Amino acid sequence: MLQLSQANSVSFRRWLRLTVVCVIAVSASPSMLLAETESDKGSDVPASDSSWLGEGQPFAMPAARVKSAADESNQEQAEPTKRDKTHQQTTVHEFELKNGLRLLVRPDPRAPVVVSQIWYRVGGSFEPVGQTGVSHVLEHMMFKGTDRFAAGELSDLVAQYGGMENAFTARDYTGYFQIWEKSRLPLSFAIEANRMQHLQIDPAEFEKEKRVVMEERRLRTDDSPGGTAYERLNAAAFVASPYRGPIIGWMHDIENLTVAQAQAWYMARYAPNNAIVVVAGDVDPEAVHQLAKTHFGDIEKKELPTLPDYSEVEQKGKKHLVVMDEVKVPQLTLGFVVPSIKTATDSLDVMALSMLAAVLDGGLSARFETELIRKQAVAASIGTSYDPFARGDVLFAIQATPNQGVELAELEQQILEQIYQLQQTPPKQSEIDRALVQLRANEVYSEDSISQQASRLGQLAVIDVDWRMAQQWVELLAKVTPADVQRVAEEFLQSKRLTVVELVPESTPELVADSAVNTKPKASAKSKSTASPAQKSTQRSKGGSSSDAAANPSAEPVE
């Protein structure tokens, strides 16, 4: 997406060296400097104008901490465990500028790298009818030119300084990020401050990027039977919620988007008081704060549009869809409309639903894997997804592929039977404990990624949830009891909240069997239960996330 500044040859390169390297007081490897090429010539960036990068406002540690690379290396050799010890004591530092921009800084000195993310409160759920996909198309255009950089030049700048960058659009937010050596953080802030204010949408580039997004939609959804089925699930499950529409947009809306619509969307939503900057890595929090004031502090705040209404009407009964597509193996998806962290009347419900997902589908010892794949052999694969970090109600979804010779109706019946058992009898404490062990392990492993550290903070802060919950999440889950799991299974996995989507080969007659309409599990040779789980219920995620990527191909943020 982004590309780079092919700028003023020798003078521009000298200017960047002085501003980014010397001012920062960090030694730069020659391989990190821009190579002289013919494509460097002809940029409209004045070599003498370094104000956009914040010259005179160095990104440096306080004077007492500034030391040469050799001194720092010797210090580390003398105290080999200092970095690890410092990391264990790390806390998140929060700042807010006068214009409303929020800054979260998570120091992690274990490696000399940094990730810089900026999250905007705008995404697919904000879009009006007829303009679905405008947030994602605009995300693409943010790499296609500003008042200082032509299309692609920003990405080249990141690449030539050894960085990685990308962007993402989700239901409730749009984000941009760079990862690189820690001394390059001023470039991240300079880039984001520039395109927060001075995006220029060229009509020719806009039409070209629309075609790119349309092709992306074909790849993710139109030519993906699983993606199509999940898109239809969302459209059917939600009645009033803005989560009904696809993040990437409907094809006809993308095709009909105009430059004026994208420009208006940008002007309304891209503002410092609608943004959260998250930085994680080997940085000093106060130095980052000062750097943020240098680059973002003078940007005017805006009067923002009101947030969408995320209210969902009461679900009145089970819905059933049959999607016929070019598949050889059928697939079954069950989606229950359940509360998120923003809509739950009691946050414990969210923790219990998360633990319920883990009990059903938390590894090889979980119930679905044990009962439906190994013992009964009705499912070849099964996955559960529940992403509670959202502004509106969300789906607790189960996606399964039947074993050869097993009908979808039988597979659905057995899934509902497993849910019914949890509604009647709480899980064993050992099941809760096993799930917690896995969740704690995931927490530990995530600490090795500065990107995950930053994303966990940003994903909560951007939906106006206290970011501290990211650090307390596993401990909050540890408070869930088996009785809590039983309670939410009974309360929220009800048949009236359920939408079932069958994905079948195009040659299959579109006949809906009585067993697929009635959620009451029928007694079978494989199940001795004669009770009806549907009378009480029926019911798992990058998103940050859990296993949404595997079970839900179109719920993932689009890039």
Strand intervals (E) in 268-375: 275-281, 319-325, 331-338
Q: Which one, of 106, 126, 113, lies nearest residue 456 by Cα?
A: 106
**What is the spatial distance between Cα 150 and Cα 162, in angstroms, rounded to a whole number?**
20
Strand intervals (E) in 121-226: 164-169, 174-181
**Is 205 assigned a catalytic role?**
no
Q: Are 490 and 496 in contact (CB under 8 A)?
A: no
β partners of residue 4: 154
Find all residues with CB under 8 Å of 346, minimum gap 6, and list them. Answer: none
Q: Are 167 and 195 in contact (CB under 8 A)?
A: no
Beta strands 498-505; 331-338: pairing state: antiparallel
Q: Which one, of 325, 192, 306, 201, lies nearest residue 263 by Cα?
A: 201
Q: What's the DSSP call for residue 26?
A: -
Token pair for residue 499?
């939408």
| CA distance from start to end of the chain | 9
Cβ of 369: how many Cβ atoms within 10 Å? Answer: 18
**What is the spatial distance between Cα 493 and Cα 176, in angstroms, rounded to a whole number?**
36
In terms of Cβ atoms closer than 10 Å to its own Cβ (0-12, 13-18, 19+), residue 549 is middle
Find all residues with CB under 8 Å of 457, minimum gap 6, and list them. Answer: 92, 104, 106, 278, 280, 467, 470
Backbone Cα Rg of the chain: 26
- What does residue 402 show for φ and ψ, rounded to 5 degrees? -75, 155
Cβ of 501: how many Cβ atoms within 10 Å? Answer: 25
Collapsed DSSP state (helix, strand, coil) of residue 165:
strand
Catalytic member of 76, 127, 139, 286: 139
Residue corresponding to tokens 């980014």: 20
Write out the catalytic residue numbers: 139
